[in-house]
Structure 1
């Protein structure tokens, strides 16, 4: 498999570190397909920019406030074109005056930006602070940001305060980004906290829509809480015929962009 270009490698690495406190050299190689000398150069550059800290055997993320926007911006550039097309298809499912629930992440941030462009009247609850900020720029969109413990690297809230608030809401559509999708195990996450939020949101949506670009297909990740029996629609840019047939047999509508 070819090595990624520098910016894409950095996006993969920062995305990995946003979901786990430490990444080993082996973890980074799997995420970037890069050689050891290239990884060392990348780590040195990102440490110089204040985004990561090199530690024995790997790296950890630096959550300094001055670098958060840059870190997230690099991660969101990963498969940006594919995420944009998926966001456009997701926004097409939203009718004016709908109520929505959205978790945090770069794929659903792309959806939020598309909804901002369309500027239709909506009610939206989100665990993503950056998503709430973007949607609040539109007067016609009423935004509720779900409180809880804030993870600085992803701008997302989680924990018992967040899940308690979610349980009080009922919405037309829940939109969920994820870290992986597996044909048998369902929708997967690299964080137990993310999985808990996704499960809570899925229970409260009349329809549940998953946004997953091709890099997420076949990725099991470490935690899964949303089974295909809960999902109504999967929007992706890459799915083979066997996957498509399997999901459709389970009642999941597949939209390919």
Structure 2
């Protein structure tokens, strides 16, 4: 029997993309999984006839975060793992982005995970006595993020928040983050200008492909498992080797007779 078989997990933003993959992976391991989102999805994560429970909630609103926690506890009696996955940002010019826009992006990607973690910590201590929190961060938080400056700043803050909470909440609550690299999800075609754009990006990455939801899911399973019992405050990079510097990309294009720098 999987070590997750009697555990309850919440995955924010778990109805699509990376969150859907994470929720499906924990269902496969026998966990009771709840996902939340702002609107009811057409389908829910499922495995072998078992589906995730859905709770409609906007994680930017504290009272709706509490609703997710309360319903989860009412139906299962415990909370063991929280995956703060909800996030994202459209492109925006930093020079002209409105104050309201920037505040909304930072609230979604930093403030919401903080509040959810606070409430989850309380629930974990009351029900199981211990737990694991994983924050899904991004390479945008550890390198420049032109076009999504507020998002990058929020993800950088999330990585630092992870380290602080790990020190404050140990030994009973472990807190870690995953630095996700370039990911291929439903929204990737639009973001990277279609399949041809995805292929061009994949060609310059060390592993020659973008990340997939199952790559992040596998990292979540590890960090929340007993095998990671002494890992807290860590930032696990799931980037496929990372993005090469521009001079390496241009050099390879030149060698292949595809110099596009002019």
Interval containing the TM-score (normalised by the shorter chain)? 0.3 to 0.5
TM-score by length of 1: 0.40
TM-score by length of 2: 0.39
Higher strand share: 1
